[in-house]
């Protein structure tokens, strides 16, 4: 692990070597404060949490992880189990004392996995629209292949564009996002590799129930508003809360799957209150 100053931020950055696979991280550097580890969604990178980190760094030592095959982390075969192991290993390698974990989408599913499998590493978790679906059957191999093929085509088309073109497309697709969200988002889209697609796992309710039942720390599920492109339905949120007393759930009206980017002020207030 080597901490260096990143020229584009006032923060530290470094790598954790996991048996030859480097996992990159950024850190706000307040090691005397409680640790908060954040895990991004598919296609993002650690710095896509910049706005959240800027607002919370006066209270927390915020550690932003680049998942494998994303950002400046290494390239390696991926599945949800490997990504969970990566996050747990980074927490251990950085000698973090039961940090709070916050994740979005793929990262939220990863955070839940760490809490379920490594409860001794975690104090509390916040899940921003994890990839938990209502369907009762597991995704078939055919369905998964179709989904991955579609993502592959999207990724190839996107990475043929310049950063400026990616930003412009992003602004057209997400007109409610603040302008300062797009530079890091565009860079992340150029950095993500095809291997990342295999780490994008969507859980059915049976799998989700099994996972949720093993979580034994205070847990908050943040859901997008009804009628949006959010993944978590009101029905799933209700099932999660009823199946585990450690969970509470809250909606952010008017926000979609990218809840923090589309309802930032309410999102930050919810996160801050829970972390207290």
Mean pLDDT of 102-107: 97
230-256 tens-digit pLDDT: 999 999 999 999 999 999 999 999 999
Provide the pLDDT for residue 154. 82
| Distance (Å) of CA 154 to CA 66, 151, 157, 193, 271 | 21, 5, 5, 12, 32
Question: Distance (Å, rounded) from C-alpha 50 to C-alpha 106?
Answer: 18
Provide the pLDDT for residue 6. 46
Mean pLDDT of 89-114: 97
Question: Distance (Å, rounded) from C-alpha 263 to C-alpha 250?
Answer: 13
C-beta separation of 70 from 189 below 8 A: no
Mean pLDDT of 146-152: 79
CATH number of the domain that residue 50 is part of: 3.40.50.1820
Question: With 60 as the cut, is the pLDDT of residue 267 above it?
Answer: yes
Provide the pLDDT for residue 40. 98
Closest CA to 87 of 138, 122, 56: 122
**Mean residue pLDDT across the chain:** 92
166-198 tens-digit pLDDT: 999 999 999 999 999 999 999 999 999 988 887
Mean pLDDT of 80-104: 97
Question: Distance (Å, rounded) from C-alpha 152 to C-alpha 131?
Answer: 19
209-226 tens-digit pLDDT: 999 999 999 999 999 988
Q: How many CA atoms lie within 13 A of 83 on its CB side?
A: 31
Question: Distance (Å, rounded) from C-alpha 182 to C-alpha 224?
Answer: 20
Lowest mean pLDDT among 69-83, 118-132, 133-147: 133-147
- pLDDT grade for 137, boundaries at 50, 70 and 90: low
Q: Which domain holds residue 137?
A: 4-275
pTM score:
0.92
Provide the pLDDT for residue 9. 60
Provide the pLDDT for residue 147. 72
Lowest mean pLDDT among 25-34, 118-127, 145-154: 145-154
Number of domains making up the chain: 1
Tokens matching residue 204: 């059915």
- pLDDT grade for 7, boundaries at 50, 70 and 90: very low
Tokens matching residue 74: 């290494």
Question: With 90 as the cut, is the pLDDT of residue 46 above it?
Answer: yes
Mean pLDDT of 136-164: 79
Mean pLDDT of 150-171: 88
Q: What percent of the chain has pLDDT over 90?
A: 76
């Amino acid at each position: 692990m080597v901490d260096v100053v990143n020229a584009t931020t006032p923060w530290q950055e470094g790598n954790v070597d996991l048996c030859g696979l480097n996992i990159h991280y950024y850190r706000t550097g307040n090691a005397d404060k409680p640790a908060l580890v954040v895990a991004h969604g598919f296609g993002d990178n650690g710095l896509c949490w910049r706005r959240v980190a800027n607002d919370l760094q006066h209270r927390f030592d915020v550690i932003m992880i680049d998942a494998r095959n994303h950002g400046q982390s290494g390239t390696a075969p991926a599945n949800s189990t490997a990504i969970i192991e990566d996050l747990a290993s980074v927490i251990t390698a950085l000698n973090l004392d039961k940090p709070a974990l916050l994740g979005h989408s793929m990262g939220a599913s990863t955070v839940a996995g760490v809490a379920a499998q490594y409860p001794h590493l975690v104090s509390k978790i916040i899940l921003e629209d994890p990839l938990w679906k209502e369907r009762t059957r597991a995704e078939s191999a055919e369905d998964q292949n179709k989904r991955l093929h579609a993502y592959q085509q999207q990724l190839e088309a996107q990475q043929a564009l310049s950063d400026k073109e990616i930003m412009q497309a992003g602004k057209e697709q997400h007109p409610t996002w603040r302008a300062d969200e797009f530079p890091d988002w565009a860079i992340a889209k150029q950095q993500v590799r095809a291997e990342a697609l295999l780490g994008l796992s969507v859980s059915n309710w049976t799998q989700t129930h099994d996972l949720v039942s093993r979580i034994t720390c205070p847990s908050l599920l943040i859901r997008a508003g009804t009628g949006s492109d959010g993944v978590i339905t009101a029905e799933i949120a209700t099932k999660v809360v009823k199946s585990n007393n450690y969970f509470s759930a809250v909606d952010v009206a008017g926000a979609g799957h990218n809840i923090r980017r589309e309802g930032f002020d309410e999102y930050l207030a919810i996160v801050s209150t829970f972390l207290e």
